[in-house]
Amino acid sequence: MTMTEENETITMQEEEQIHSWHSQLLRNISKSLHDFRMADRPGKVDMLGKWGLFIPAVASTLIIVLILAFLWFESVPILVDPSGGPGIVVSPTWDPNRDLFGIAIFIVGSLLCAGIAIGLAVPLGIGGAIFLSEFCPMRLRQPIKMIIEMMAAIPSIVYGLWAYLVLVPIIKNNIAPITQSPTNGLSLLAGGLILAIMLLPTVVTISTDALQTVPLSLREASLALGATQSETSRKIVLSAALPGVGAAVVLSLGRAVGETMAVLMVTGNSLQIPYSLFDPTYVMTSIITNQLGYAFVFPLWRSALFAVGLVLLIMSICFTLTAKLFIRWGMKTRGYI
């Protein structure tokens, strides 16, 4: 009995609230209109300006929504077509002439390339970050930081040019003969190496920032207990900065998967799943760059390419989310990042 009464009173209150909310809105609108009419010129500019600024503020949200919507509507044809369907994500055959649009080899190629790059760049980058933030002589720190920031600014096409003209011949002539594997140098290894070089500045910069936010008192406490500098930096500083370093790794993973030009120039672009480091491979960004121009008049082909783009977009959103989670974890457990 009491329950029903309570419910009734609650609905009554809610109705009243809704009613009052409506009238309040009306009152607010009429009040602001009245204010606007009464205001002098600066006041009018102030009120209009606030709403004028609202539109640019939602521009980035609008662009994200538009990108998602357009990639989705462009990939719908292949996702509902009997020859395609969501199974294209695991189907390994890409042959537009026979209407076979499996994009698994591109996903595997991208992940392998990014995996090699991360495997090389993360240990080196964290080592470099520890050196920069803990051991580097003051005189050297600023120049090294500047060079690393400049490396991050070098356009990816220049990295691609260098990799194509220097790294690929080195792999062909000097590295591949060690294992007796025939290759023209355009290989998974070349893609992984150039990606690692491109990721290093990101990893070093973000990790250095994370290491430098660790309070000095932690280091002092560890050193006072008799730990050496290397033990302090490995076991205390690095573990205290772990969320920031994790965010750096995830962000650079996103960059690795999304990198286009340099990888396109050195991975050989052959439609196969690589079985050794010296096999050529095809990554997701390359297939879009190479074929979107031709495929545009073929609905299914074009749609399959946009499905690749959608996979890329979803992956990059996931990486950004994961990095945010790392930062939130850092704020929660450590109070700094």
Partner 1 sequence: MLKNGESESILYRLYALSGLKDALKSRRHFSDYIFKVILGLVIIIIVSPFFLILFQVAGVGFWQVFGTGPGQGLEFLFTFPGAGLEGGIRNAFVGTVELIVVASAVGIPLSVCGAIYINEYTRPGHVRGIVEFTSDVLAGIPSIVFGAFGFVFLVDFLHIGMGIIAGSLTLAFMMIPTILRTTQEALRAVPMSLREASLALGATKWSTTWNVTLRAAFPGVITGFLLAIGRVMGETAPLIFTAGNSLIVPTELAGPGSWIASMPYTIWAYISDPREYLQVKAHGTALALMIMVLAIDLIANLISRKVTRRLV
285 binds partner 1 (CB under 8 A): yes
Amino acid at 30: S
Only segment of 13-21, 94-102, 128-136, 271-279 that touches partner 1 (CB under 8 A): 128-136
Q: Which CB atom, from 26 or from 58, has the smaller least distance to partner 1?
A: 58
Contact between 265 and partner 1 by CB under 8 A: the answer reads: yes
Report if residue 225 touches partner 1, rule: CB under 8 A. Answer: no
Half-sphere exposure of 137 (CA within 13 A, CB side): 2
Nearer to partner 1, 19 or 328 (CB): 328
Q: How far is CA 286 from the centre of its chain?
A: 17
* Under 8 Å between Cβ of 282 and 267: yes
Q: Out of 6, 8, 149, 220, name the contact with partner 1 by CB under 8 A.
A: 149
Is residue 252 near partner 1 by the rule CB under 8 A? no
The reply to whether 261 sits near partner 1 by the rule CB under 8 A is yes
- Selected from 100, 223, 242, 292, the binder of partner 1 by CB under 8 A is 292
Nearer to partner 1 (CB atom), residue 70 or residue 181: 70
- Residue 23 binding partner 1, by CB under 8 A: no
4: which DSSP letter? H
Contact region with partner 1 (CB under 8 A), list: 30-38, 85-93, 181-189, 316-324: 316-324
Tell whether residue 157 is a contact of partner 1 (CB under 8 A): yes
Owner of token pair 């080196």: 124
- 10 Å CB burial of residue 212 (0-12, 13-18, 19+) is middle
**Residue 96 burial by Cβ neighbours in a 10 Å radius (0-12, 13-18, 19+):** middle
Min CB(147)–partner 1 separation in Å: 5
Residue from 155, 169, 177, 215 touching partner 1 (CB under 8 A): that is: 155
Q: Report if residue 119 touches partner 1, rule: CB under 8 A.
A: no
The residues pairing with 95 across neighbouring beta strands, listed in sequence order, are 100
Who's near 296: CB < 8 A, 6+ residues apart?
302
Q: Which of residues 161-180 bind partner 1 (CB under 8 A)?
A: 161-162, 164-166
Q: How far is the CB of 8 from partner 1 (least distance, A)?
A: 32
Hey, which residues between 27 and 66 contact partner 1 (CB under 8 A)? 42-43, 45-46, 49-50, 52-54, 56-61, 63-64, 66
* Contact (Cβ atoms closer than 8 angstroms) between residue 305 and residue 74: no
Site for partner 1 contains 336 (CB under 8 A): no
Q: What's the rounded Cα separation, in Å, for the pair 193 and 91? A: 28
- Applying CB under 8 A, the site for partner 1 has a residue count of 84
Single residue of 289, 298, 300, 329 touching partner 1 by CB under 8 A = 289
